[in-house]
Structure 1
Amino acid sequence: MRLHQLEITAFGPFGGSQTVDFDELSSAGIFLLHGPTGAGKTSVLDAVCYALYGSVPGARQSGQGTALRSDHAIPGTRTEIRLELTVAGRRLEVTRQPPWERPKKRGSGTTLDKAQSRLREYDPAAGAWKDLSRSHQEIGEEITQLLGMSREQFCQVVLLPQGDFARFLRADAEARGRLLGRLFDTHRFGEVEQRLAHRRRAAEAQVRDGDSELLADAHRMQQAAGAAMELPDLAPGEPGLADAVLYAAAVARSTAREQLTLAGCRLSAAESAHAAADRDLADVRELDRLQRRFTQARERAALLEERVDGYHQAQARMERARKAEAVSPALDLREAADTEHRGAAAAEAHARGLLPETFADASAAGLASAARRAAEELGGLESARRGERRLTELVHECAELERQERDDEEVGQDAEAWLAGWEETRAALQSRIDSAQEAATRAEQLAVQREPAQRRLDAARLRDQLAGDTETAAEQARLAQERTLQARAHWLDVKEQRLNGIAAELAAQLKSGEPCAVCGGTEHPAPARKDAGHVDREAEEQALTAYQQAEELRAERERRLGVAREALAAATAEAGDAPTAQLAEEAEKLERLHTDARRAASALHPAHEELRRAQAEHEQRTEARQQAAVRAASRVGRRERLDRERATLEAELAEARGTADSVAARAAQLERRAALLTDAADTARTAEDTAQRLKDADARLADAAFRAGFDTPQAAAAALLDDTEHRELQRRLDAWQSEETAVRAVLAEADTAAAARRQPADVDEAERAAAEAARRLRDAASARDAAARRCTELDRLSARATDSVRRLAPLREEYDRVARLAGLAAGTSADNERKMRLEAYVLAARLEQVAAAATARLQRMSSGRYTLVHSDDRSGRGRSGLGLHVVDAWTGRERDTATLSGGETFFASLALALGLADVVTDEAGGVRLDTLFIDEGFGSLDDQTLDEVLDVLDSLRERDRSVGIVSHVADLRRRIHAQLEVVKGRSGSVLRQRGVG
């Protein structure tokens, strides 16, 4: 995983928008994140974590949601975190916006906006970003899957909190177990322990429940058998329990079968007696039914005889209705004709009501003739209507001539007024031009004086600056001279030491049997040996190189001093001895005068332009006055022609419109009269037609009624029945006929008549005899069923008891096996020598891997002195296998990590953090972590240890990693050039970034 860019807006202490370019910072391998306390260094790391997981690390999780918003932010600015990173070969962009209280768009107060998230991926083929998801859950699952670690693991592995690992070094086994359990997700092994313990308890409960179930079945068999079974007093787990239960069950089953045979014999006798009683009861009930059926038929026949007159009347009414149905079409036709005639008469009355009284008695033909006359008069008004439109146009033309005359008068008056002041205006503009010309001449003269004065001022300022630079360069040259002398003396000392020990150096090159380079001898009986402070060629060359570099620096500083002195002499010659303040005052005065003159001269061009525009306006107004006079002369003749045409048209229109206000009004009157007369003529003809049709319908109706046998049409109409009445009358006739047929059929039955001649049946006595037989049968059946249920229940319970005895053996074996495994995993078994739980065993293996990975860096940081090892020893009542010790190579002893000093604790915890990061990374599937952050602790290191720690961190670049150090140590700002500074202020913190360059 590599971070590229982070954008923070209104988050934590950052009130505005801040951007971090991690690509630039990571190019150096190591970069520094520094700033005063409370500025917001940790907030930068919180922003990275929030962008990836939607929450901030550790104890700062209480500040979620709206509390993440900066107190310095503008009310309308939304809090937003945008992070661009590469993970698993994919370039992603994650944007997070926590919920915030924004001002309402309408009214006062605030409203809560929900959190928003967005995930995008860069497509190299398309060269653009594409959206992947806007769901919080989907984005969280995608990031967690790609990184292969949870938020807690990320905060512990990527954002290395040194304080946590310092506590980890000094913690007991329980605290180490909690941290390692979160990082390596070993809760599944704890779940295995719980699972085994649960299975042990379950197996034990099954065995105990098996014994209880067997005794419960025995008691149930005793209840089912009653006095036929005796059960000894036994408890779960006692020997012989199964045999005693099975023996008692066998005795109870044998006794129950004998009782079942006796009950079956008694049930057979009761069934025979009950069948005979049921047959006698059925015969008596059938006789009683036939007798009651004959009596009811006689009663219904008498009732029909009483209602026979009503039946005959209904038959006559139905026959009269059938005859009236032949007259129904004529009745419908006459009703339709009458309705049509009444509508036509009403329409005629309405149309005649709209006409004058002179047309009240006019026929349809007279109304049509009057309508034609009105239409002819309307056609004669067409010419007059065109004349009226022409008169309107003449009125508009006369009004337009009057408007043009008023406009020309205003133009002429305006031109006369403006031309009256022309001479004064021209003289004033010419005066402005002359004044601006004089100012331009004065500005040119001042410009010649201003440039030399400005050059002298610049030279004086350079002179003052070079005076200070010369003193600084002289001091640097002196210091460089001193360092050169020191480097030369050191080189000579080293050279002398090497010459003094040259014999040992030559002796190191001797080989047995080869001649010596000094004496030529092939035997070397006593070659010189190097002492502890021996200086070799490499040390001498390093001292010589340091001397040469110091000499080059001295020469460069002396060259710079000479250049500074030459520049100072040139600036002094140019500026003279006058003070810089005096020269600045003179230059400022000339500049002020020159500015005033140029400002006055700048009015020359506008004055020329204004004079040109005034002359153009003079010509335009003179020409406008002349054109207005010409237009006024041409309007006189046109006005006379329009007046003559208007008088002629008004005389013609007065005759055409008559008493109306206008010709159009007269035409509208004639159009309405013609329309009303036409409508009245049409309705009159329609009324005449409908009256004739009504007369014809009356004649046909009278003829139809006579042929159907009715005296009048009204009698035929009264004889008609509607659908409801017809159905009701037919139902009554059908019901009477059905009842008569049914009664005759019953009275004709032979068995019914024979039953009526016998003595009345005694049903109550037969029912009492049958009920007594049924009761004896139920008692016998109940006794037989009880005996059968007893046998069935005893067989079922005996089978269950046998199965229970058979199941208990494998359950006891499983319980013994699970109990041994649960004790071994929980560390309580005698087979577990160290009393170590399964989860602790796995954590110990992980701790061993972490200690091995951390040792590789710890040895380099401590110059090979310290090594981290884990211990399996059990401390007090705590866990075993989670101990952590340090081996001191100087003493050869192993001691507790709590004995380390502050600086030693820091680089030991740093090595542990880096090692843990490697192990967790491998555990997470080998995801590359190309960007790490280390938080504080460097202030406890001396210079040499700090160099060694930085070398170890710098070596991470071999794996293409970049490390961000969060620290207040001032020495780190000189050692690490790539920096991200957090500057705090009253309006919030800002970020300042400086790259390698």
Structure 2
Amino acid sequence: MRLHRLDITAFGPFGASQSVDFDDLSAAGLFLLHGPTGAGKTSVLDAVCYALYGSVPGARQGGTGQGMTLRSDHAAVGTRTEVRLELTVAGRRLEVTRQPPWERPKLRGKGTTVDKAQTWLREYDATTRAWKDLSRSHQEIGEEITQLLGMSREQFCQVVLLPQGDFARFLRADAEARGKLLGRLFDTRRFAEVEKRLAERRRTTEARVREGDAALLADAHRMQQAAGDAMALPELAPGEPGLAEAVLEAAAVARGTARELLTVADCRLTAAESAQAAAERRLADARELDRLQRRFAQAREHAARLAERADAHRAAEERMERARKAEAVAPALELRDAADSEHRRAAAAEASARALLPPGLADAGAAGLAAAARRAAEELGGLESARRAERRLAELVEERAGLDRQERADDEVRQDAETWLADWETTRTGLQSRVDSAQEAAARAEQLALQREPARRRLDAARLRDRLTDDTEEARRRALAAAEDAVEARAHWLDLKEQRLHGIAAELAANLTDGAPCAVCGATEHPAPARKTAGHVDRDAEERALAGHQAADERRAKAERHLGTVREALAAATAEAGDAATDRLAEEAEELEGTYARARATASTLHAAQEELRRAEGEREQRVAAQQQAVVRSASRVAGRDRLEREQASLEEELARARDGAESVTARAAQLERQAALLTRAAETARVAEDTAQRLKDADARLADAAFRARFDTPADAAAALLDDTAHRELQRRLDAWQSEDAAVRAVLAEADTAEAARRPPADLAAAERAAADAGRRLREAASARDAAARCCAELDRLSAHATTSVRRLAPLREEHTRVARLASLAAGTSVDNERRMRLESYVLAARLEQVAAAATARLLRMSSGRYTLVHSDGRTGRGRSGLGLHVVDAWTGRERDTATLSGGETFFASLALALGLADVVTDEAGGVRLDTLFIDEGFGSLDDQTLDEVLDVLDALRERDRSVGIVSHVADLRRRVHAQLEVVKGRSGSVLRQRGAG
């Protein structure tokens, strides 16, 4: 991957558009990115990362979802944030353009709106020498860039943007912290997932084994219940070995005992069945004898009762005979009753109808009543024309009322219009005055709006100036105290170093042994080795003093940088606010805001005043038109009112004749309708009464003749002899029942076996029933005991078979659990077979760390003049796990020590070598993507001149692989040594970039 060009607009500290020509900078192979603290050196690297991945490194992540954090505070309101990067990767020249979300002012109206994030990807076609669009999808572009680079954003930030501070911490970190970083870079989550899956499978299989054992114990408990607590359960818990064998053994013993009990129960049941059969036979004989004896006694009693009812039976036979004769007279009786009922109803109806007639017609015959009804109907027919005239008269009255209502409405319209139009000039003048006032206020508000922002900025700057004045004095005091502490710490360190140099012979002598050569002179004899004196300073004391000196110096530099920053901010705030007092500026700003608010409030009524004036003018036009239309309608109603009056007079005269004294024609018609109906009904009821009287006379004659032929003295006797259906059926039933009972009694008394049983002694039924009940109870007890024994055997057989199947099914599961548990313990580092207690993921990372240490050593040897070598260690630290140790071998002493013992400068070039080695290994891991452009961020200030030259030689050697390296630093000495430079210059309106090539 090689960078060609970077264009930045409104990004980070860069308010305006800035460009970086990486081709020009990379021509020398080594270039410097420098500038004061806070100018924006790291923001250039952030822009590269944002262009590729849509987010910035580390804690500065904003991403496309937080684009507002990427936008420069110095950018103009109408300028959108944009980053464009041109690069070559995998032989393809691409251009990536990204615009984060942008909160901008609305094009219409007030307020702001947010434009969505935009992303473009283009590729240069060498054949046509033109750029062609590939995609505008954020997701597609991200996947394409990640696939071409072969690494994630985190990996890119570690292998291309080399953060020295992270690797210094990596050198001093423990195994867990190193594991986290290496895990992110080499993506060993799959191995951690294997550990997790194995642990889950171990828990799953263990739970399944315990569940199977619990089910087996449950079967054993059920077998114990079925065997009546005669079975002893094994005292083992689920999961313990031998549980299955113990359960099967106890089940076999319980099954043998149950089968013996079943054989005994079968014998008892056979004997009880024989005894019960004999008792049942004796009971049946006793019941039959008792039945025959009771049957004969009941027949004798029944025969005596029939003899007592013989007279009643003969009287019933005679009553039935008279009823049969009276049935011949029944039709004549029914006919006479029907004729009598009909005649009474007709006479009542006639009397009711005549009661409603006028006195002159109450005694008239049927013919006279019918004639009067016809005359009333004819008169009713002649009123139809009068009805139409009456309806027309009602319509004329309604029409005249409508004309009157219209006349009143038009009068109101004319009066309302005249009243409103009289005040029109005053209303129009007032509304026009409101419009003019609002327009003047709008112009005044625009003028005041231009004055608000400068006044507010001056006020904010004055407040910041007041606050920074106090902060500057405090920062100066802290910087002075930090400088004094740094001087004292340096003096203390130099003193201890000088003391240690004086006593270095004693340190060397402490390592001498008889017969071993001296590390200084090579002699094997040591006659007078130096001894440590009181107050001897060892190496640890010197290094602690050095660390204290370095920490104090860092605090001094930090305090001085903070003081410079505060002073710069104070100068900028003073230039913006001037010498004016903050209180006076606040009063002026508040007064300006109040005046502006009042002008805005007045101007906001302009639209409403204009709308109200337009509505008033429209209403005036409507009222003038309505007034004119009302006058025209009043003139047209005069002729119509005269016509209606003439027609109404003619109709009233006609209706007076037709009403004949009634209130209306309708009332007169109703009278005639009621009269015709009453007369018609009365004539009809009179004819019906005459007909029914004649039919009653004929029915009486036929009834007398029928009674004589049936040999009854009078029709009343015949009617008394009749029986209704219910009485007839009841009498016949009594006669039939008596005959049936008499025949049944005679039959029973004639039976031979019944008579024979009556001659025998009475049967003892209660004793036979008691004997049969006892035999049945003993049989049920024996059958219940036999069924219980059979169920016990069947249940034990079923549960034993189920337990055997469970044991067979659990066997492979137990084997699987044992195998998985061993694998999980081995992968988790807790198994006794894993001597170093190294987890699977740690094992993989250890291999990667060994590669990184080997790659870093090749550069570290040159940077340290052959003194230091990085080695990987898989030894255990304390009680922890092993696999991720990192040591440094000092060729001067021949000892291997922890990387945390390196000094500040040594830590820097060791971490730089480690970063470059890690970049090589991650690049190979990512698929061998060629990285032609690298950036190294800070850390050079801790090197002396000789070490700095050696480090630069190593970086310069990267050009042998056609790489270019950008150094991000504010160390002044690097500006002399590195000629190709990209300078970041900060100012009030934002930072700018100045580029200088190698020439």
Normalising by the smaller structure, the TM-score range is 0.3 to 0.5
TM-score normalised to the size of structure 1? 0.46
TM-score normalised to the size of structure 2? 0.46
